[in-house]
Amino acid sequence: MNQKLTRRGFLKSASLVALGGMFCNSACAARPTAIHGLRFGRAKPFSFDSLIERAAAMARAPYVSPPKPLPDIVQQIDYDAWGKIRYRPDYALFANGPSLYPATFFHVGQFFQKSVKMHVLEQGVAREILYSPKYFSMPKNSIAHKLPENTGFAGFRLQESRKRDDWRTQDWIAFLGASYFRAIGALGQYGLSARGVIVDSAEPTPEEFPDFTEFFIDGAPKEDQPVSVYALLNGPSLAGAYHFSIQRAEGVIQDVEMVLFLRKDIARLGLAPLTSMYWFSEKEKRRLEDWRPEVHDSDGLAIWNGSGERLWRPLINQPYAVTSSFSDQGPKGFGLLQRDRVFENYLDGVNYERRPSLWVEPLDDWGPGAVQLVELPTDDEIHDNIVAYWRPEGPASAGNSYRLRYRLHWMADEPYPAQVARCVATRVGRGGQPGKPRPRGVYKFCVEFAGPALDPLWGNSVKAEPIVTASSGTVSGAFIEPVPGTRRWRALFDLAPNGADPAELRLYIRGNGDALTETWLYQFRVRPD
């Protein structure tokens, strides 16, 4: 995939007609145009550099919140009412070309109350797409009919290629709400989200949610070209400019270039953030929690650190907000993954087994910092309670600026598989041995690994052992064995915790002095059933 969008040559008159007559000479540049139903504002010059300059200027000025049209009315557009307001595909941007991927727009509602400006971009010229209620299909009794003509949009999404018969009903990436966006993976499902930035997540003070306030959409006329989207971000503590170069591949590949300017000190600044949901799985499901075996959009955090070590940290539904930090220098990548792809482990028609994994690949040397994982408690699947991001070293002080490039892989798995075996299951139960008195306060851990790196264990040509450490408590009885009926191996050990102190556990299988598996990390604390 090209890291930068190759600019097209100047479109001649036939292409201008196909684009909807959005660009014209100076005589018509001062008035809105209306071709093929969509209305556009005045033509204005645009470049990413100019957008960065706007963000820098905004950060030097007091914060101004995006407009909220008639809050009393919008508040009444609840989830059900909002779901009945649908954008008409015939009004899609690029419905007649030249881009292969038409854009449709979201209506404001109770959960998306702020207006976001939308622009179409071509050859360094931008025009705002002017809102009209006629773009939307809505019930006659919808409260949304009371909104004014200048209400504005809440976000947008890209539909599948116009070459597909189902493009009007199938989309593949969406930007909606604050700085959130998400894409489908290789298995055709939406799941976790990415965000533009994290500000003070899991801090004593309320978290801040900056907004993408303007978007500029440039289409892709060929299948092998990415769609280019630019965004302006603003929040009480910072402002920023983003360039997304997005390619519809087996899943979705998305290059991101971002520039941030801080107007205030920030206690916790998170870059390249990912947001997901984890309720429970096979390892620590509580009694009578739910009838399904597992419920989660992601089941673990994977890290490929700067020294080349592969780490796997299963997600946990914590009893309170917990932040884990994994210090690093120049990380090679990290991601929230959905490794369990077996339908019988979910038994749910919402297809948790097909949710995408999302991997962050730095395109520059990010220097020193830490991958941080925030886990919040949840008692339902409707809440996103997991956040992972990169926190650069040093204080995030007013006046600082940050420029970062990275690639997002919305896929079924990691884009760069490890040579060592990977963790595929974590199970926790009572310690001791079946058929014998179980020691009180002792817990058994069973960690399963799979991969070709373990094949030599079957022929006994490699002497292997589990390497287990704990920050607190006592580890005993560690050994490995094959999992019957599979090509997997598992490591088992007992842990006697030190009272209520949480234990940071670390495990890998070593053979002939080399690591045969990735390193499994886990935070365990004693909790009532």
Kindly state whether residue 20 falls inside one of the protein's structural domains: no
Kindly state whether residue 360 falls inside one of the protein's structural domains: yes
Choice between 33 and 222, residue whose per-residue pLDDT is larger: 222
pLDDT at position 259, please?
Answer: 98
Q: How far does Cα 77 stand from its chain's mean position? A: 26
Phi, psi torsion values for 332, nearest 5 degrees? -90, -20
pLDDT one-digit tens code per residue, 333-357: 999 999 999 999 999 999 999 999 9
Q: pLDDT exceeding 90 applies to what percent of the chain?
A: 85
Q: In the predicted model, is pLDDT for residue 499 greater than 80?
A: yes
Phi, psi torsion values for 15, nearest 5 degrees? -70, -35
> Running DSSP on this structure, what letter comes out for residue 227?
E
Q: In the predicted model, is pLDDT for residue 4 greater than 70?
A: no
Kindly state whether residue 91 falls inside one of the protein's structural domains: yes
Phi, psi torsion values for 174, nearest 5 degrees? -140, 140
* CATH number, residue 257: 2.70.98.10
Residues 402 and 429 both lie in one domain: no
**Domain residue limits at 166:** 31-411
pLDDT at position 5, please?
Answer: 28
pLDDT one-digit tens code per residue, 92-109: 999 999 999 999 999 999
Q: In the predicted model, is pLDDT for residue 1 greater than 70?
A: no
Which of 351, 378, 411 terminates a domain? The answer is 411
pLDDT at position 435, please?
Answer: 81
Angle at 467 between CA 461 and CA 469, to 5 degrees: 175
Q: Is the peptide bond before 98 cis (omega within 30 degrees of 0)?
A: yes
Which region, left, alpha or beta, applies to residue 193 given φ > 0 means left and ψ of -120 to 50 means alpha?
beta
pLDDT at position 12, please?
Answer: 26
Residues 476 and 391 both lie in one domain: no
Number of domains in the chain: 2
Residues 331 and 363 both lie in one domain: yes
Which of 346, 378, 411 terminates a domain? The answer is 411
pTM of the full structure: 0.91
Kindly state whether residue 529 falls inside one of the protein's structural domains: no
Q: In the predicted model, is pLDDT for residue 462 greater than 80?
A: yes
Residues 407 and 445 both lie in one domain: no
Residues 387 and 506 both lie in one domain: no
> Running DSSP on this structure, what letter comes out for residue 167?
T
Q: Could you tell me which of 237, 464, 277 has the C-alpha nearest to residue 380?
A: 277
Residue burial 195-209, b: 16+ Cβ < 10 Å; e: rest: bbbbbbbbeeeeebb
Kindly state whether residue 25 falls inside one of the protein's structural domains: no
Residues 434 and 395 both lie in one domain: no
Q: In the predicted model, is pLDDT for residue 35 greater than 70?
A: no
Question: Do residues 139 and 146 touch, judged by C-beta distance below 8 A?
Answer: no
Residues 426 and 400 both lie in one domain: no
Residues 282 and 362 both lie in one domain: yes
Q: How far apart are CA 43 and CA 37, in angstroms?
A: 18
pLDDT at position 528, please?
Answer: 64
Q: What is the mean pLDDT of residues 149-154?
A: 94
Phi, psi torsion values for 431, nearest 5 degrees? -75, 180
Residues 434 and 397 both lie in one domain: no
In the chain, what is the greatest distance between 2 CA atoms, to the nearest angstrom? Answer: 90
Kindly state whether residue 16 falls inside one of the protein's structural domains: no
* CATH number, residue 487: 2.60.40.10
Kindly state whether residue 9 falls inside one of the protein's structural domains: no
Q: In the predicted model, is pLDDT for residue 33 greater than 90?
A: no
Residues 343 and 195 both lie in one domain: yes
Residues 310 and 254 both lie in one domain: yes
Residues 477 and 373 both lie in one domain: no
Helix ranges restricted to H, 313-375: none
Kindly state whether residue 5 falls inside one of the protein's structural domains: no
Q: How far apart are CA 370 and CA 330, in angstroms?
A: 9
Phi, psi torsion values for 52, nearest 5 degrees? -60, -40
Q: How far apart are CA 168 and CA 156, in angstroms?
A: 14
Residue 374: which pLDDT band, with cuts at 50, 70 and 90? very high
pLDDT one-digit tens code per residue, 267-319: 999 999 999 999 999 887 777 889 999 999 999 999 999 999 999 999 999 99
pLDDT one-digit tens code per residue, 376-429: 999 999 999 999 999 999 999 999 999 999 999 999 999 999 999 999 999 999
Which of 77-81, 457-461, 499-503 comes out lowest in average pLDDT?
457-461
Show Cβ contacts of residue 447 under 8 Å, excluding neighbours closer than 6 positions: 423, 425, 426, 427, 490, 491, 492, 507, 520
Q: Could you tell me which of 298, 277, 317 has the C-alpha nearest to residue 525?
A: 317
Which of 411, 443, 471 terminates a domain? The answer is 411
Q: What is the mean pLDDT of residues 472-488?
A: 96
